[in-house]
Structure 1
Amino acid sequence: MSDDPEYSRPEVPFNALPPMVIAIALVLGGIELAFQAGAFGLIGGPDAIGWRIAAIEDYGFFDAIFEAMRAQGTWPFEHVMRFFTYAFVHYSMLHALMVIVFILALGKMVGETFGNFAVLLIFVVSTLAGSLAYGLVLTTNVQLVGAYPAAYGFIGAYTFILWLGLGRMQQNQMRAFTLIGLLMALQLVYGLLGWGSGDWVARLAGFVMGFVTAALMVPGAFGRIMTRLRQR
């Protein structure tokens, strides 16, 4: 049957994803699977049950540590790395899965539009923007963990792609911000119900950085955005 010219093997969706998107998802998923396996005693022995808690303590972003470094003017690598490493540790399997779904869905379009390097760049800069905003805006004892700021960075880049496309079709470009508007509205509802946390600051910062980074990759696009903002 494979010799039949009319026969074609169905495309596997996972294989259609940009390699960097797959790599990021595998790293995040692999770490979470290790935590799960350790918690169930499948690997690592008795100490593995506490791997997640230890990882949060060692790699999570803590505002208190950030403020101490600012006050003392010292920036040891073991704490500076927290600006990035927090993204690789999650509170639970569900937490990690939600992030991975966002990254797979939106990273696909970003990767197909801008390439693999852009996927990695947006992941890194959005992660950094999230931790910086979290530390500068909030005063909290709650640690920041999880790759949601990076996922929102991909939402930002996706929003820019939509914004550009709507502009070319001479349609209302504000429609591009429907997704982030909905997500921020949900964060507000969660906050009013007492379910939310301050990490919305990190997510919003990731979104903004993803949008800006995508704009900088299109020659002249950032200038057009500034012109539109001045006109308003």
Structure 2
Amino acid sequence: MHEHKEAPPVNPLPPVVVILFLAIALPEVAFSLGAQGLVGGAEAVGWRLASVQNYAFSGEIFDWMMERGQWPGEHLLRFLTYSFVHTGFTSALFAGVLLLALGKLVGETMGQVAVLVLFFGGAVFGALAYGVLLNDPNWLIGGYPATYGLIGGYSFVMWQSLGARGEEQLRAFNLIAMLMGIQLLWGVFFDVGNGWVADLAGFVFGFGASAVLVPGGVARVLAVFRRD
């Protein structure tokens, strides 16, 4: 007799999503515990600030590299490392939740390599947009541009699926519209800075890159333009 194995109630997360989540969560746990004096001694209070200075993306540093044509590795790494440093626990929590939800969807439909491409590509493209389009002296930190890259991938899959069923494809952009609307509303009451520029750029990268990552994606995009 064949042994019957019940399917798990919750599909396991792709390993690459778990690794990325831990890369966000573990530093935040250390920063939070250190700020409360529970680990690291007196120096732990400054761990977050030191991490921002060492790993966050800086538009001013980017301008300096552009002007001199010099590209030190330690500063190029900032295009990636800023995604794993956050302003506080709440910011890291929301970034982690988005990563788990969107990373699972993208990983199951497009594969784990696509998750890495969209996550880190969104981070790099978001930082580039922040550095090129703005003259903002504030640090760019947080995993949102990277996770918005995953939202772009999810939106492309939805856009493709809705088109195949003959349904309204604009519905694929409901999630990004809702999130950007929340940021706009939040900005009315609080100074949220210009990070939304990097977030939106990350989404644009994710959506565009997915046309290449999804088999037949480019052909479907071209077909839409030909119909127009």
Per the shorter chain, which TM-score range?
over 0.9
Aligned residue for 2:205?
209
The answer for the alignment partner of 1:183 in structure 2 is: 179
Of the three residues 132, 138, 144, the one matched with 2:134 is 138
Following TM superposition, by how much is the alpha carbon of 1:180 offset from its aligned partner in structure 2, in angstroms? 0.7
Aligned to 1:192: 188
- TM-score scaled to structure 1, two decimals? 0.91
Letter in 1 for 2:127: S
Cα distance, 1:221 vs. partner?
1.4
TM-score by length of 2: 0.92
Shift of the 224–10 alpha-carbon distance from structure 1 to 2, 3 Å rule, reads closer
- Hey, what's the Cα distance between the residues in 2 that align with 1:23 and 1:194? 33
CA distance in 1, matches of 2:216, 2:115: 20
Look up the match of 2:8: 11
Find out whether 1:122 has 2:118 as its counterpart. Answer: yes
Q: Percent of aligned positions with the same letter in both sequences?
A: 45
Q: In the alignment, is the contact (CA less than 8 A) between 2:34 and 2:44 conserved in 1?
A: yes
Select which of 15, 28, 31 maps to 1:32: 28
Which moved further from structure 2: 52-61 or 34-43? 34-43
Count how many residue pairs are aligned between Structure 1 and Structure 2.
Answer: 227
Unaligned runs of 5+ in 1: none
What displacement does 1:191 show? 3.0
Find the aligned partners of 2:49 and 2:72 in 1 and give their Cα distance.
22
**For 2:216, which of 212, 216, 220 is the aligned residue?**
220
Across the aligned residues of Structure 1 and Structure 2, the Cα RMSD in angstroms comes to 1.9
Cα offset for 1:183? 1.5
Deviates more, 1:211-220 or 1:61-70: 211-220
Q: 1:97 to 1:69 in 2, by over 3 A?
A: same
- 1:57 deviates by 0.8
Tell me by how many angstroms 1:195 deviates.
3.1
Instruction: After superposition, give the CA deviation of every residue in 1:157-213 in whole Å (9 maximum; x if it has no partner).
Output: 110111111011111111101111122222222333343320111001111111122
